[in-house]
Structure 1
Amino acid sequence: MNIAITAPTRLYQEVGLTLQQRITDDVYRVGSRLPPERDIAEEMDVSRSVVREAIIMLELQGLIEVRKGSGAYVTAKPSNDKPRATTRANSDVGPFELLQARQAVESQIASFAAMNITKNDISRLREALDMERKHLNEGCTDYDGDELFHLTIAEASQNSVMSDIVRELWQRRDESPMWQQLHARISNSSYRTAWLGDHEKILLALQKRDPEGAREAMWQHLENVKQTLFELSDVDDPQFDGFLFR
């Protein structure tokens, strides 16, 4: 007997569906502004990052529009003759949830890498940092050097399972419509210079073969990534994506 297994609803999807129903019921009318994220988070007893992900979900469905420095506005009601979300969107992981998973996994892998890293791995990591610097200087918007740096650390662990896990996490990031939508909100890329500095600290710990230092440096780096992207994509802030650079 075949038993159908339904994927569990993610927390951001539960919040998004509640907001979607309120749009259907005219609690939030077309043209009106959604309440601030902080208010929604307090009402539904969830973190603001979960609310942020729910709003991104509604953006992808074409139900709301984010206006810089003003907030999120309802632009349409859900259509009864179309599914509320595509299969791909239903299976998507929220960008902040994904970053949290990467933080837990990659920090531990960095620790293993510090114990097993080779001279060749160090050379490859330096090449990845050189690629990042080159792209920053040229104003290039891709993340090839960033991804190469993280994947090389995973490979330096000398554990193919760990390497596969990190590769899978990055693949989910690269293929995620929600991740792409998050970055579509952000026009200032100055934060990438700070992330390059984080990478240099991670490399230094790896060169010293310091497992705890590498773990802490990777944990702090991904914490910085989470917090920076969260603050830069805050539509309720009047300065929106520029206030960190005042």
Structure 2
Amino acid sequence: MSPLDLPGGGRLYMRIAQKLADDIAAGRYRTGERLPPERDLAVSLQVSRTTVREALLALEIMRQIEIRTGAGVFVLPEAMREPVPARQVATGETGPWEQLEARRAIEGQVAYLAAERADEAQIAEMERLIDESEAALDDVPRFDAVDAEFHAAIARAAGNALLEEYVAHLWSMRGGPMWARWYDQTRTIQNRRRSVEDHRAILRAIIRQRPDAAMTAMKSHLDVLAERFHALNL
């Protein structure tokens, strides 16, 4: 089946989620049954595995399925009692993969400009935030807050108010349930340490006024998040 044959419009992952929800409602998959592996669904639906992954996250939030890491994806009893009506998948959230793609494009350019334009006070603020994030490695809520502040500080240093707004908007999307469902599985202290190291690499390039290096460091930092998304064993 081609994605173009799927009913409705909107985000592709939502159309995939609706197709799977309709199959569950029609009895193709029953309570407790395991859905086909992610890679098989991607082949049969002719979409990427990232799209399938976002569709499965949406269905889990809607209590249609349960994702058991390392074991597979299983139909929940709620899916039989309260099936999703045709073409009514109840999420319009931008999926994690789209968010990461957008952040890579925009924050990469923001880091480039920051390396050209950051002043001493702005650099000092970034240094302070990195030190604070390192001190908060065992305090996840505080670490996440400082993480956001660091990226916002880079956006301010870029000297473009519109880009600063774009970055703030992209970060606000992290409050959605799909992002949280995925991101919560990656909140290890090792990953937080890696983020601090990445931030230091970005800042080094900004201090040295090397725009290309700053852009590469930022994109590499976000590529790590993308790799974690791919590495989830659904």
Q: CA deviation at 1:8?
A: 4.9
Equivalent residue for 2:140?
A: 141
CA distance in 2, matches of 1:204, 1:81: 50
1:215 maps onto 2:215 in alignment:
yes
The 5 Å alignment of 1:201-240 reads 201-231=201-231, 233-235=232-234
In structure 2, stretches of 5+ residues that fail to align are: 1-7
Q: CA deviation at 1:212?
A: 0.6
1:84-120 CA-partner distances (Å, limit 9, x unpaired):
444xx2x210011101110011001111111110001
Aligned length: 222
Equivalent residue for 2:192?
A: 192
TM-score between the two structures when normalised by the length of structure 2: 0.89
Equivalent residue for 1:244?
A: none
SS at match of 2:100: helix
Equivalent residue for 2:153?
A: 152
CA distance in 2, matches of 1:72, 1:187: 22
Answer whether contact 1:15 1:54 (CA < 8 A) is retained. yes
Percent sequence identity over aligned pairs: 32
CA distance in 1, matches of 2:21, 2:198: 39
Q: CA deviation at 1:45?
A: 1.7
Answer whether contact 1:109 1:162 (CA < 8 A) is retained. yes
The 5 Å alignment of 1:55-74 reads 55-74=56-75
Answer whether contact 1:16 1:55 (CA < 8 A) is retained. yes
Answer whether contact 1:107 1:219 (CA < 8 A) is retained. yes
TM-score between the two structures when normalised by the length of structure 1: 0.85
Q: CA deviation at 1:146?
A: 1.0
CA distance in 2, matches of 1:117, 1:207: 8
SS at match of 1:221: helix
1:77 maps onto 2:79 in alignment:
yes
Answer whether contact 1:195 1:225 (CA < 8 A) is retained. no
Answer whether contact 1:28 1:34 (CA < 8 A) is retained. yes
SS at match of 2:199: helix
In structure 1, stretches of 5+ residues that fail to align are: 1-6, 236-246
Classify 1:8/1:171 alpha carbon distance in 2 versus 1 (closer, same or farther; 3 Å): farther
Equivalent residue for 2:12?
A: 11
Q: CA deviation at 1:206?
A: 0.2
